[in-house]
Amino acid sequence: MIDHKVRYIVNVLSEAGDQNFFKNILCGLSSAIDANYVFIAELNSEHTSASTYSAVNKNQLIDNFDYALKGTPCEVTQSGVCCVHPSGIQPLYPDDLLLVDMGIEGYVGVPLKNSNNEVNFILVALFERPVEDVLEVESLFLLFSGMILKELEKQSVLEKLKLTDQIIRDSNEAILITDKNTEIIYINKAFSSITGYSLAEAIGKRPNLLNSGHHDTAFYKDLWVELNASGHWSGEIHNKKKNGQPFVSKLSINAIKNEEKSETQYVGFFTDVTKDKIKDKELFQKTHFDSLTGLANRNYLNERLAQAVSQAKVSRSGLYVLFFGIDHFKDVNDFFGFLTGDHLLKQVGSQLKSIIRTNDILARVGGDQFALLVSDVSEPYLVQNFLERTFRLFDTPIKIANNDLKISLSIGVAKFPDDAESPEDILKKSEQALYNAKASGRNIFKFFTNEMQDKLIRRIALKNALKVSIEQGQIEVVYQPIITLDTNKIAKLEALARWQYEGDFISPDEFIPLAEEFGLIYKLGLLVLRKACHTLKLLKGLGWNDIAINVNRSVKEFEPDDCAKDWIAILKEFDLQGKDINFELTESILAPEQKSNLEKLASLQKNGSKISLDDFGTGFSSLSYIRNFPIDELKIDRSFITHMDRDSEDKILVKTMIAMAKSLGISTVAEGIETDEHKKELLELECNCGQGYLISRPLTFEQLESFLSDQL
């Protein structure tokens, strides 16, 4: 009888083929055993509930359903034993309400154990009447359970495969698989969209169809050695797309052994990281390089300097830091504007770059300052040679927007380990050496010395003392007579500040820049003006009514909006008129960037004061340029007068200045007349006024009194 039933089920299955296996086997079983319901149920992971995988009621598929296992005969089945009840099942499982609802009398349940002896599925038959041959049912179930299990496993593998296939196909990561000969046997969609190669174009080719030529053969050789040894390689590869565009891919390759064929396949996964690379590069560029000149910035220099110092410590070698400053850069900026200043910085940067070795690091470390790190210097004279070459390089003027700018550099040099042991210190020392080069007249290089260190300490002490002196009114003022050259009569006096520190006179050339740098100059200027007004008042009291006093003002003193108002107010305080006090300023006051200065100058002139352009010829302005500004007087710088008798070029310059000023209605004053020869020549050139040691040194009030009375 059972043979007959088995044959029946097998027939049903073979007629239906692969389609609807579960429906067919369950229907076959149900007919064979005359059960009302037959189903396969899948257990949840905790084995507390079950969901039917497929269920039939009298040859009909029914909707799947879930049920809790507790208190049911299936609870027994899931534990791994067959549960068989020919009849009277309901009283045995009073909590199983489903049995009552469905009117169930008999039950046969078989666990479907997989190869690991685990039960994930059960096969169950429910009968509405008592089962006649319960053993036969059980035997049939056990007989077919193997087949059902195999099919369940097959389905699960297929599901998984479907899923993996979809994952591979839809992955954002490009995937390619090659056979053992590294011929491509599969690529996914992402591969095509990144590289531009379709499946048809890629199949049968080798991955080197992406080769960009960026890497050498050694690179690929190493890759294969590692891949074959460890079964894995990952890294970045510069590849090329179908359209020739290069791209950077982050690639990982796995060698996969195909057990059946005992062959190796290679699976590569990659993403296009070109954009990230560009971003990284841009970020690196931003954080390590100066945006104007493209040179390294201070940060990057510090990094490289730290590396170089550690290396030098190990190799017991030396290194140098050269600190460059463009002389009078501020004047260029003030006078020609920031745009020209920027062009100049770029030009200086690229000229310096053109003469350095590729391994040396040139950085822009501040406004007009550059630093060069020179490592591995075998002979110190090489640095000296380089310095000389640098000076020669800047002998030729730099052309920027129709202007020939003759510039010079000052350079400070410090050496590791002689001058400093730490990277920060060596940079600081080279900067100190630069200050020293500037203080020594510029256009020069200086090696760091310990005296410089002392000077720096002194500078700080001077600054603090200067502040106190200004606050306590301890700046003295001396007066240098300016005479009309053809009459020898005193036309005016130039007020010059004097300061003593610890009993020594400090030159204004030292303390004026200090006052400017530390924001003390405005107060100092007010003090000098007050003292000059006081002196003039005294002179007027002595009957000297026609003498005016010139006070010096630096550009920084013009920064406060109300500077002109403040100065005019001081004149009023002393009951003086505008014509009594003139203002001497340097050319940078006329810079195009300093437009508001012009209004301030105009208000001083409106009040009656004259404006003198001091140290003329040392800056960048030309006479034709100053024509556009309200200048009353030109003071020709001492440097031209000093060499006038020896240097014919200087004499021609002085002559031109005087002639052009005259044509513009501007009067001229020669500074630094030290010899009769100077005076004679200037008279011949029709210079209006003059001052200098020949006429008089700057005088204290007492000395001035006697000087003036001698004039009578």
Give the interface segment with ligand C2E, choosing from 211-219, 341-349, 384-392, 685-693 (CB under 6 A).
Answer: 685-693
* By the rule CB under 6 A, 566 interacts with ligand C2E: no
Contact yes or no for 668/703 (Cβ under 8 A): no
Candidate list 501, 674, 701, 705; residue touching ligand C2E; CB under 6 A: 674
What gap in Å lies between CA 455 and CA 100, rounded to an integer?
107
Candidate list 59, 507, 622, 700; residue touching ligand C2E; CB under 6 A: 507
* Residue 365 or 491 with smaller CB distance to ligand C2E: 491
Candidate list 552, 605, 609, 621; residue touching ligand C2E; CB under 6 A: 552
What gap in Å lies between CA 283 and CA 289, rounded to an integer?
10
* By the rule CB under 6 A, 341 interacts with ligand C2E: no
* By the rule CB under 6 A, 496 interacts with ligand C2E: yes
Helix (H) or strand (E) holding 538: helix 521-541
Say if residue 609 is exposed, middle or buried (CB neighbours under 10 Å; 0-12, 13-18, 19+).
buried
Burial 611-634 (b: 16+ CB within 10 A, else e): bbbbbbbbbbbebeebeebebebb
What gap in Å lies between CA 287 and CA 305, rounded to an integer?
16
What gap in Å lies between CA 371 and CA 563, rounded to an integer?
38
What gap in Å lies between CA 377 and CA 386, rounded to an integer?
11
* Residue 365 or 483 with smaller CB distance to ligand C2E: 483
| Residue numbers 634-663 binding ligand C2E by CB under 6 A | 638
Site residues for Mg ion per CB under 5 A: 552, 584, 614-615, 671
From the CB of 320, what's the least distance to ligand C2E, in Å?
A: 35
**Residue at 540: amino acid letter:** K
Q: For residue 110, count other CB atoms closer than 10 A to its CB.
A: 26
From the CB of 400, what's the least distance to ligand C2E, in Å?
A: 28
* By the rule CB under 6 A, 512 interacts with ligand C2E: yes
Q: CB under 8 Å to 298, separation ≥6 — which residues?
A: 363, 365, 366, 371
Candidate list 28, 111, 690, 698; residue touching ligand C2E; CB under 6 A: 698
Contact yes or no for 603/573 (Cβ under 8 A): no
What gap in Å lies between CA 182 and CA 176, rounded to an integer?
10
- Indicate if the alpha-carbon torsion angle 569, 575, 577, 583 is positive or negative: negative
* By the rule CB under 6 A, 505 interacts with ligand C2E: no
Contact yes or no for 152/123 (Cβ under 8 A): no
Candidate list 290, 584, 587, 633; residue touching ligand C2E; CB under 6 A: 584
* By the rule CB under 6 A, 481 interacts with ligand C2E: no
558 DSSP assignment: G
From the CB of 515, what's the least distance to Mg ion, in Å?
A: 15
* By the rule CB under 6 A, 509 interacts with ligand C2E: yes
Q: For residue 445, count other CB atoms closer than 10 A to its CB.
A: 24
| Residue numbers 600-629 binding ligand C2E by CB under 6 A | 614-615
Give the count of residues interacting with ligand C2E (CB under 6 A): 24
Which one of Mg ion, ligand C2E, none is in contact with 568 (Cβ closer than 5 to 8 A by kind)? none
Which one of ligand C2E, Mg ion, none is in contact with 691 (Cβ closer than 5 to 8 A by kind)? ligand C2E
| Residue numbers 403-432 binding ligand C2E by CB under 6 A | none
Contact yes or no for 264/255 (Cβ under 8 A): yes
* Residue 9 or 555 with smaller CB distance to Mg ion: 555
Give the interface segment with ligand C2E, choosing from 302-310, 321-329, 546-554, 563-571 (CB under 6 A).
Answer: 546-554
- Map residue 637 onto helix, strand or coil: coil
Which one of Mg ion, ligand C2E, none is in contact with 383 (Cβ closer than 5 to 8 A by kind)? none
Which one of Mg ion, ligand C2E, none is in contact with 509 (Cβ closer than 5 to 8 A by kind)? ligand C2E
From the CB of 696, what's the least distance to Mg ion, in Å?
A: 15
Residue with tokens 């040859």: 59
* By the rule CB under 6 A, 553 interacts with ligand C2E: yes
Give the interface segment with ligand C2E, choosing from 24-32, 246-254, 504-512, 572-580 (CB under 6 A).
Answer: 504-512
* Residue 480 or 668 with smaller CB distance to ligand C2E: 480
Candidate list 326, 348, 452, 528; residue touching ligand C2E; CB under 6 A: 528
* Residue 319 or 669 with smaller CB distance to ligand C2E: 669
Candidate list 480, 588, 621, 667; residue touching ligand C2E; CB under 6 A: 480
From the CB of 369, what's the least distance to Mg ion, in Å?
A: 27
What gap in Å lies between CA 134 and CA 152, rounded to an integer?
25
Contact yes or no for 238/246 (Cβ under 8 A): yes
What's phi and psi for 319, nearest 5 deg? -145, 160
Which one of ligand C2E, Mg ion, none is in contact with 528 (Cβ closer than 5 to 8 A by kind)? ligand C2E
3-state helix, strand, coil in the chain (%, to 5): 45, 25, 30
* By the rule CB under 6 A, 667 interacts with ligand C2E: no
Binding site for ligand C2E (CB under 6 A): 480, 496-497, 507-509, 512, 525, 528, 552-554, 584, 614-615, 638, 671-674, 691-693, 698
